[in-house]
Structures are given as structure tokens and as C-alpha cells.
Amino acid sequence: MSSWAIRHATLRDVDDILIIEESQFPEPWSRGMLVDELTSAENRRFTVVDIDRDVVGFLGLMYVLKDEMHINTLGVRPGFESRGIATALLTDGFADARARGIERATLEVATSNTRAHQLYFRFGFKPVGVRKRYYEKTGEDALILWADLGELAAPSDS
């Protein structure tokens, strides 16, 4: 595989991120939502993985409180799964969060997205509840996951 690197997303990445969003999620983020995320630097962190100058993955974090963050979105381009891209993005994001003094992380994930569940569980996330009919278009429930960043470690099997 070609070399890849994690970097901060810029507005020029929006089209590539949209392609991944639309291929991965039944309710993808809109262009406007992504632009808002990328221009809200004070409490957001949006990173991408480049392979040969093509964006193949992304992670959007939101710092909610002084010591808490929310994983807003994480996606990998079809055909690039199981290469450690999501694991690397999360590991990088958690390192940045710890450096900011963040102690806890949370997210919602579709109950049917077992691949994502496995990834987050490998990082030590635990289910704490369900948001009924969280996703408007599908009516699907979302599993609420929480983790203590002090207890998280990158999984050895990426």
C-alpha cells in the first residue's frame, strides 16, 4: 500500500469527505454541515487520511465540555476498509484529546453497524443506552457509547 498520513482537513477536502459520507451512511452530512465543522476550529477537530493525495478516511471530533469530547463522524472510503485507517484516526484523535485534558468520549452509532461497534469496543467504549429512532430516514435506533480516555488504548489488531 502507498504511504498515508493524517492531517487536518481543509475546505478543499469537502468534496472527498462528502463522497465517503454518501457511500457509508444512510443520512450523510451535507456540504453545509461539513463546512461548519471545518470552520469551527475552537471546539472542533476534523482530520483526514491521504493516500497518494486522495482522502480515504476522516474523523470529526467536537469538544463539548472542558473534559469531554464527542465523536461526530468517522468514515473510510469503500475499498480501504481493514487497513487500519479508522484505528489510526481514532488513535491520533484520542492523543490530541488527552493533550487538551479531555477525560471522556462519547458517540452514537447505528445499532446495525456491527463493524463500527467492534472498532469502538476494541478501544474500550462501553454501551450505556439507546436513542430510539435516532436516525430520521431509517428510523433506526442508535447505541450510545462512552469511554474514559485514561483507560483507552489503541487496539493491537488494527
**Residue-wise DSSP of the chain:** ---EEEEE--GGGHHHHHHHHHHH-SSPPPHHHHHHHHT-TTTEEEEEEEETTEEEEEEEEEEEETTEEEEEEEEE-TT-TTSSHHHHHHHHHHHHHHHTT--EEEEEEETT-HHHHHHHHHTT-EEEEEETT-STTT---EEEEEEEGGG----S--
pLDDT of res. 116: 93
Q: What are the domain boundaries of the chain?
A: 4-151
pLDDT of res. 154: 56
Instruction: For the chain, give the longest Cα–Cα distance.
Output: 41
CA distance 116 to 48: 18
Give the number of other Cβ atoms within 10 Å of residue 58's Cβ.
25
pLDDT of res. 2: 62
User: 4: burial class by Cβ within 10 Å (0-12, 13-18, 19+)?
Assistant: middle
pTM for this entry: 0.90
Helical packing angle, 14-24 and 31-38, nearest 10°? 130
pLDDT of res. 70: 95
Per-residue pLDDT tens listing for the chain (158 residues): 468 899 999 999 999 999 999 998 888 899 999 998 898 878 899 999 998 888 999 999 999 888 899 999 999 999 998 899 999 999 999 999 999 999 999 999 999 999 999 999 999 999 999 999 888 888 899 999 999 987 665 565 44
- Look at the domain 4-151 and name its fold: Aminopeptidase (3.40.630)
pLDDT of res. 155: 61
Cβ within 8 Å of residue 125, ≥6 positions away: 105, 107, 145, 146, 147
Cβ within 8 Å of residue 143, ≥6 positions away: 108, 109, 110, 111, 117, 127, 129, 130
